[in-house]
Structure 1
Amino acid sequence: MAEPIYYVDRSDLREGKLAEVKDAMRDLTAFAEAHEPQLIAYHFFVDEAESMMTTLAVHPDSASMELHMEIGGPKFRAFGGLIRMRSIDVYGRPSPVVVDQLRQKAEMLGGGTVTIHTLQAGFNRLHRPQSTA
């Protein structure tokens, strides 16, 4: 069974760009919801100081994340003049293709780091078998 991929990125918002960032967030969220039915969760957050954006995504597997990176690429570019990518953290086992896509994304959006975290212990209840009773 494929394991979920948890994705978290953090970016600094460029001065005076909050309203544009919020518009871009809504646009990308609507696009992902319409075109990626396999995506489990996709959220954008802004900190209290309104100076940092965090993206959180949960993919059912690496193939889902690869699809997201492929079709979302043009949408990610819209953030280019609005943010400076600090970091991308991925929890799970993304394919080498996804890791390469993430490094390209980080470079395009400001040169943030990409760190892959491998699971050592745990469980999830996202894919529980359905009872037949």
Structure 2
Amino acid sequence: MSDHVYWIIEADVVDGKLEELKALMQEMSEATQADEPGALNYEWSLSADETECHIFERYSNCETTMIHMGNFGSKFAKRFMSVLKPKRTTLYGNPDEKVKKAMAPLGAVLMTSAAGFSR
């Protein structure tokens, strides 16, 4: 097991907001890559018809997760919620109480690590 914290957000694209979403996902990806060395994975995917978005994020530990959450809240949350309607958020790894609380507004369901490894 590791100290990694990761999640998958499943969301619907708000009607008429696809181009705004595409611009925002590029902006957020570039900012996360440049400013957050603890972000191990930061991957956005769109369905073939571009009506659904999945986001996979993985962080090295709870501290780096909270750095990301602070940046997201101060820079991107309002625009994010204007272009996406989150349906399901699944949280994995070893999140502490701060991370769980930060993910609660997205209705995150925690899946506790049971076996396996991370490289």
Which SS does the other structure have where 1:6 is aligned?
A: strand
Determine which structure has the larger strand proportion and give its number. 2
CA distance in structure 2 between the partners assigned to 1:28 and 1:76 by the alignment:
10
CA distance in structure 1 between the partners assigned to 2:99 and 2:117 by the alignment:
23
**TM-score, normalised with respect to structure 2:** 0.92
CA distance in structure 1 between the partners assigned to 2:91 and 2:64 by the alignment:
13
Which residue matches 1:68? 68
Which SS does the other structure have where 2:81 is aligned?
A: coil
CA distance in structure 1 between the partners assigned to 2:82 and 2:70 by the alignment:
20
List 4+ stretches of structure 1 deviating above 6 A: none
Amino acid aligned to 2:9? D
1:50 aligns with 2:50: yes
Q: Which residue of the other structure, out of 84, 106, 114, is the alignment partner of 2:108?
A: 114
CA deviation map 1:23-52 (0-9, x unaligned): 010011111011101211101111112111
What is the aligned-residue identity percentage?
23
Shift of 1:76: 2.2
**TM-score, normalised with respect to structure 1:** 0.83
Which residue matches 1:109? none
1:103 aligns with 2:108: no
CA distance in structure 1 between the partners assigned to 2:63 and 2:89 by the alignment:
18
Amino acid aligned to 1:122? G
Which residue matches 1:85? 86
CA distance in structure 1 between the partners assigned to 2:96 and 2:64 by the alignment:
11
Amino acid aligned to 1:103? A
Structural RMSD (CA): 1.4
Matches for 1:25-36 after TM superposition, within 5 Å:
25-36=25-36
The answer for unaligned runs of 5 or more in structure 1 is: 107-112, 126-133
For CA contacts below 8 A with separation 6 or more, give which structure has more relative contact order.
2
